[in-house]
Amino acid sequence: MSSLTEVDGVLGEALRDYLAHLRVERGLSANTVDAYGRDLVRYVAHLGEVGRMSLAQVTEADVLAYVDAIRQGGDGGAPLSASSTARALAAVRGWHRFVHAEGLAAEDPTTQVHAPTRMRRLPHALSVDDVSRLLDAAGAGEGPVPLRDRALLELLYATGGRISEIVGLDVDDVGDAPVVRLRGKGDKERVVPVGSFARDAVQAYLVRARPVLASAARQQGTPALFLNARGGRMSRQTAWAALQAAAGRAGLAGVSPHTLRHSFATHLLAGGADVRVVQELLGHASVTTTQIYTMVTPDALREVYAAAHPRAR
């Protein structure tokens, strides 16, 4: 069974009703509904293998067997990663909740079924020296673009802002005060301090580079802080390209805008900042998201071991 059109009978009707509910009542996008459909078609195939003709017959053991099958590829499909398995199980849970709420099944067999644990990876952060090399590389060269790129990357690192937040800044957002107003997810605004290095870089850009870039605009000037070569607001793609070019000149690989955000948080915590303060600066809704930065890195473990263990050398 590979598509929704091949699902018939009671299960097929229940599946089509659920997908219509997601599309019409929940307002999910077509892509999201299609993804749910693909996961649930695989689930229906599993139910057919174990002889279940309706969701009212499904037990917790059936759901657990399905999770194991898709994790290992035991149902003939491709084995799924922990994150993909969690996504597929979310689709199954949603369908069972819907059927139970509609009174088509007396029990929801998924309530005690948990997704496989996903490994938490430490965010990649640059060392302080590598950040300095990156920023110096951004400002290398003549003309307005190096001044702009240096100011851009200085602000990214100084504030821990997302790339969309930084390119979304207007000139009025920076002002003369040692703070900047960032508009984050959900248009939530936060005020973040800005150090002297970033302030000086932004001031140099405003005085010596932005007027040159603004002169290329064919229409009335934009309030945007960072401008592209045509005098319009700099896009995330252009900002990404500027970062990649600087990283290449600095000899650094695997650097993204989020790398500077991770470096900002990691360096603050290493310097003794409270995790709740870092949470506010990053604009995280929950401190749990921020606490990943408090995980001990392998380098830190080796340093402590080498310094403390009597036979470390």
- Catalytic residue numbers read 162, 185, 258, 261, 284, 293
Across the chain, the runs of DSSP E, i.e. the strands, are 179-183, 189-193
Separation between Cα atoms, residue 302 and residue 197, nearest integer Å: 32
Beta bridge partners of 121: none
Angle separating helix axes 60-72 and 82-101, nearest 10 degrees:
150
Helix, strand or coil, per DSSP, at residue 231: coil
Across 166-308, the runs of DSSP E, i.e. the strands, are 179-183, 189-193
Q: What letters, b where the CB count within 10 A reaches 16 and e where it falls short, cover 154-178?
A: bbbbbbbbbbebbbbbeeebbeeee
Separation between Cα atoms, residue 101 and residue 88, nearest integer Å: 20
Closest by CA position to 17, among listed 49, 55, 52, 45: 55
